[in-house]
Amino acid sequence: MTETIPDQPAPTVGPAVSKRVRFNRELTSLAGIPLLVWLIGWASEYGYIALIVVVSILALDEFLSFGKKKGYPVHSGLAQVLMLFLLSAFVLPSISVEMGVFAVLLIVPARYVFSKSDINESLPASAVCVLGTLYIGMLGGALLRLRLDFPEVGPRLVFFLLIVVWMGDAGAYYVGKKFGKTRLSPRVSPKKTVEGLLGGVLSSVVGAAIIHFTFFPQFPLVHALIAAALLSVTGVIGDLAESLWKRSAAVKDSGTRLPGHGGFLDRTDSILFTAPILYSYWFLLSHPFQFH
């Protein structure tokens, strides 16, 4: 999510470069959005699982690249295997999520015990591996459960999540560009503003109302609005967290795999961060507390 402060001069970009970026962005969206909609709403559960697995693999690869940029000996292959094991725990009843987490916390340090890399780099390197594996694996697992645990409304919940977060992103950008003055987190992202945040929350709430009255009446209006506000704020925090890591690694984008959009982690940071919030909200809404 990016909002431009009006009195902050933007970097100069040539018109030819700007047009090429916009073309690449539009072409990527034109090709990717129909496939994404089909995999979420109409494909089998296996198609949706494959989508989350592929995105998670690419997002983790980009996250681990932050550690490599810092010069740490990051064991990408091991992290990817453990992340896939952790994701499988969300869909296979024979594997518990606790087993996946334990495997990450035990195997990654063990790998560095027997590594020949500089012992002074073992702490940051193993921390990057553990954080990346748990971050992508656990939050990606929440995206899996969001659809699989609620078969009657699962696809609609995923669409609700995407639309609300992306509308919040758009609202934050345009409101921040027009009215932004108060920096939200200047140390991490100088272009984000409080006004942009409020505009994003309002846009998300409007999006939730539209969703309720169009294709998701099962989500009570009041609860849809509350959930949208929570998701919007949480999405900003997720976006800021990734910005913090990118600044630490001195990179602008997490990757270049999505022309005009950056990397997969750039496009999914807010979604990953908000998925467990929506899952928890819907679970509590559909499983009210019982007092005996």
Rounded to 5°, the CA angle 40-156-223 comes to 145
| Separation CA 264–CA 56 (nearest Å) | 9
Identify whether 1 is part of a domain. Answer: no
Q: For residue 92, name the pLDDT band (cuts at 50, 70, 90).
A: very high
Q: Is the pLDDT of residue 175 over 80?
A: yes
Q: For the residues 138-152, what does the mean pLDDT come to?
A: 96
Identify whether 6 is part of a domain. Answer: no
Query: Buried b / exposed e across 205-232, counting CB within 10 Å, b at 16+?
Result: bbbbeebbeeebeebeeeebbebbbbbb
Range from 34-43, 76-85, 129-138, 275-284 carrying the lowest mean pLDDT = 34-43
Identify whether 32 is part of a domain. Answer: yes
Q: Which DSSP helix (H) or strand (E) runs through 192? A: strand 189-193
Read off the amino acid at residue 243.
Answer: S
Query: Buried b / exposed e across 243-280, counting CB within 10 Å, b at 16+?
Result: bebbeebeeeebbebbeebbbbbbbbbbbbbbbbbbbe
Q: Which residues contact 292 (CB under 8 A, 6 or more apart)?
A: none
Q: Is the pLDDT of residue 247 over 70?
A: yes
Identify whether 55 is part of a domain. Answer: yes
What string of DSSP letters covers 87-101?
A: HHTTT-TTS-HHHHH
| Separation CA 64–CA 75 (nearest Å) | 9
Read off the amino acid at residue 12.
Answer: T
| Separation CA 86–CA 91 (nearest Å) | 10
Identify whether 5 is part of a domain. Answer: no
Q: Structural domain of residue 153, as residue ranges?
A: 15-286
Q: Is the pLDDT of residue 149 over 90?
A: yes
Identify whether 76 is part of a domain. Answer: yes
Could you tell me if 109 and 82 are in contact, meaning their C-beta atoms sit under 8 angstroms apart? no
Q: For the residues 82-97, what does the mean pLDDT come to?
A: 96
Identify whether 144 is part of a domain. Answer: yes
pLDDT in tens, 32-55: 688 899 999 999 999 999 999 999
Q: Is the pLDDT of residue 138 over 70?
A: yes
Could you tell me if 166 and 127 are in contact, meaning their C-beta atoms sit under 8 angstroms apart? no
Identify whether 239 is part of a domain. Answer: yes
Q: Is the pLDDT of residue 259 over 90?
A: no
Domains in the chain, number:
1
Of 210, 248, 233, 195, nearest to 63 by C-alpha is 248
Q: For residue 153, name the pLDDT band (cuts at 50, 70, 90).
A: very high
> Which tokens hold the place of 33?
């959005």
Q: For the residues 223-236, what does the mean pLDDT come to?
A: 97
Q: What is the DSSP letter of 12?
A: P
Q: What is the pLDDT of residue 116?
A: 84
